[in-house]
Amino acid sequence: MASEITYAEVKFQNTSTAAVVKVPPETKKHERHPQKYPPWLPWLISLLLLLVCIALVTVLLEEGWTCCPKGWKRFQGSCYYLSGDAMSWAASEQNCTGMGSHLVVINSKAEQDFLSKEVKKPSRGENHYIGLSAQDMGQWHWVDQTPFNVSAAFWREGEPSNPDHEKCVVIHRTSGALNNWNHVQCNSHNRICEAAAVIV
């Protein structure tokens, strides 16, 4: 015998339909970090770096780097070689020429002061030839044909004394810092060569 299935509808009293609560989707809270610097600061730093770069390029293009050969001293736009050996004035000038320079021509008090300090260093000889000489006594000439200016000369006290046999000029190491030129015989002394500094 077949069983019958009976369906019934049951209703419960005092029941209510569950209220559906709509919850908005969860929003991420943006964390706010306090700024440690003003927002315009990176722009200012970038601008300053750009200006520094422009200034460096301008200086390098206008002036460039000034270089001197190894063992030479640089001052302003020139390079100076102070020798450790002694030779005659003519051989000294020839030696300087062979290095692409000439015996030093002193054009200013600043240059004279620089050279005077250099020759006073302990390892230097007593006298250093400069590029000033006289064919006839009292007629002083620079090796590069710069006119000799009596008011811009740095003679020791009592110099030049004009004896006929002293026609070359040296910076005397033990004299005062500024007035230390002495005219001497053109025999064996150290020398100072001068060349223009190389600009790269």
pLDDT tens readout for residues 95-116: 999 999 999 999 999 999 999 9
Range of the domain at 153: 72-199
Question: Whole-number mean pLDDT of the chain?
Answer: 83
Q: Is residue 86 part of a domain?
A: yes
Q: Which of 84-93, 123-132, 140-149, 170-179 has the lowest mean pLDDT?
A: 170-179
Q: Is residue 13 part of a domain?
A: no
Q: Given this model, what pLDDT does residue 179 score? A: 92
Q: Is residue 61 part of a domain?
A: no
CA–CA dist 97, 173 (Å, integer): 24
pLDDT digits (tens, 9 = 90+) for 115-159: 999 999 887 888 999 999 998 877 899 999 999 998 889 999 988
Q: Given this model, what pLDDT does residue 121 score? A: 87
Q: Is residue 126 part of a domain?
A: yes
Q: Given this model, what pLDDT does residue 6 score? A: 63
Q: Is residue 110 part of a domain?
A: yes
Q: Is residue 25 part of a domain?
A: no
Q: Is residue 24 part of a domain?
A: no
Count of the separate structural domains present in the chain: 1
pLDDT digits (tens, 9 = 90+) for 52-77: 878 776 665 655 677 899 999 999 99
Share of the chain above pLDDT 90, in %: 49
Going by C-beta distance under 8 Å and a sequence separation of 6 or more, which residues neighbour residue 198? 66, 67, 68, 79
Band of residue 187 on the pLDDT scale cut at 50, 70, 90: very high
Q: Given this model, what pLDDT does residue 160 score? A: 87
Q: Given this model, what pLDDT does residue 9 score? A: 65
- List 79's β-bridge partners, or say none: 74, 195
Q: Is residue 43 part of a domain?
A: no
CATH at 121 = 3.10.100.10
